[in-house]
Amino acid sequence: MQAGATDARRAAVLGSPIAHSLSPALHRAAYEALELTGWTYDRFEIDEAALPGFVDGLGPEWAGLSLTMPLKRAVIPLLDEISETAASVGAVNTLVFGEDGRRTGDNTDIPGMVAALREHGVEQVDSAAILGAGATASSALAALSRICTGEIVAYVRSAARAVEMREWGERLDVEVRIADWADAAQALRFPLVVATTPAGTTDALAVAVPERPTTLFDVLYDPWPTELAARWSMFGGAVVSGLDLLVHQAVLQVEQMTGRTPVPVEVMRKAGEQALAARQDPEV
């Protein structure tokens, strides 16, 4: 559907916690740039128990929803259709409502990762390392399956995580070698390193950054830069940030929800940067 500039349509991001989501800033900036004056984008604190009732109560003015944790899997039973990309990792971050109310789920994190890497000149690599093995690591593995022609090594912190990562590899038809977190410093010598762990987890690895690092994709964006990303940049390596990912996955969401293209990437990035700056300095 090609949305008109004055159509009164709604969209929102759902999750718990949700107060610090940057999605409203990104989507609203896109609406303004696209002159979608009747469009609004909000945030709602919704947990898994409340999700079915919330979705069922939405009217025809709703164009779509962005979904963050813990709803990416919980939403799947509520959908009429799910994309192959979302099905591959069992996670939906985008729900689009058709004109007939049909609910279609997609995952824009995976192509968003590929687009963020491409923006930084990374089209293809012959090997890659993943730090971590949580939900984001599965999306990273799916993204790497599209651009990595050789070995993918996942550095994990527990036997249970190792099992999960192997299962994701089998599901995605990608061969993954599992390595112990104690050897994670070795990951930093790969052509591409994707850090998917929580804040602070990779700080101790900063001292192991090689003299000539290649590309680091650190999915965090607040606080930023991480110690690893800062040292990586200091040594001249390329760094792709979590904000890059957030912007590119949001671009794809806006395209799907509004039917408009091209979506203004730089406008959305600037809005995200300003929102982050405002958190650090209330006077901004």
Residue 253's CB is within 10 A of a number of other CB atoms, namely 28
C-alpha to C-alpha distance for 75 and 72, rounded to whole angstroms: 6
Q: What percent of the chain has pLDDT over 90?
A: 94
Strand partners, 110: none
CA-to-CA dists, residue 56 to 10, 50, 133, 203, angstroms: 15, 10, 33, 43
For position 284, what pLDDT does the model report?
Answer: 41
Q: What is the mean pLDDT of residues 250-271?
A: 97
Tell me if residue 270 is catalytic. no
Which pLDDT value is given to residue 262?
95
44-56 pLDDT, tens digit each: 999 999 999 999 9
Check pLDDT > 50 for residue 5.
no
Neighbours of 124 (CB within 10 A): 12
Please check whether residue 260 is in contact with residue 267, taking contact to mean a CB–CB distance below 8 angstroms: no
Cα separation of 1 and 4, whole Å?
Answer: 9
Other C-beta atoms within 10 Å of 35: how many? Answer: 12
Specify whether the CB–CB gap between 196 and 131 falls below 8 A: yes
Output the pLDDT for position 201: 96
Nearest one of 43, 41, 42, 34 to 6, comparing CA atoms: 34
By CB atoms closer than 10 A (0-12, 13-18, 19+), residue 54 is middle
Q: CA-CA distance, 282 to 259, in Å (whole number)?
A: 35
* DSSP calls for 75-119: TGGG-SEE-HHHHHHT---EEEE-TT--EEEE--HHHHHHHHHHH
Question: Alpha-carbon distance 118 to 248, whole Å?
Answer: 11
Per annotation, catalytic residue among 72, 161, 231, 269: 72
Give tens-digit pLDDT for 15-73. 999 999 999 999 999 999 999 999 999 999 999 999 999 999 999 999 999 999 999 99
95-114 tens-digit pLDDT = 999 999 999 999 999 999 99
User: In this predicted structure, what is the pLDDT of residue 256?
Assistant: 98
pLDDT tens-digit map of 158-178: 999 999 999 999 999 999 999
**Residue 135 and residue 69 in contact, taking contact as beta carbons nearer than 8 Å:** yes
pLDDT at 7: 72
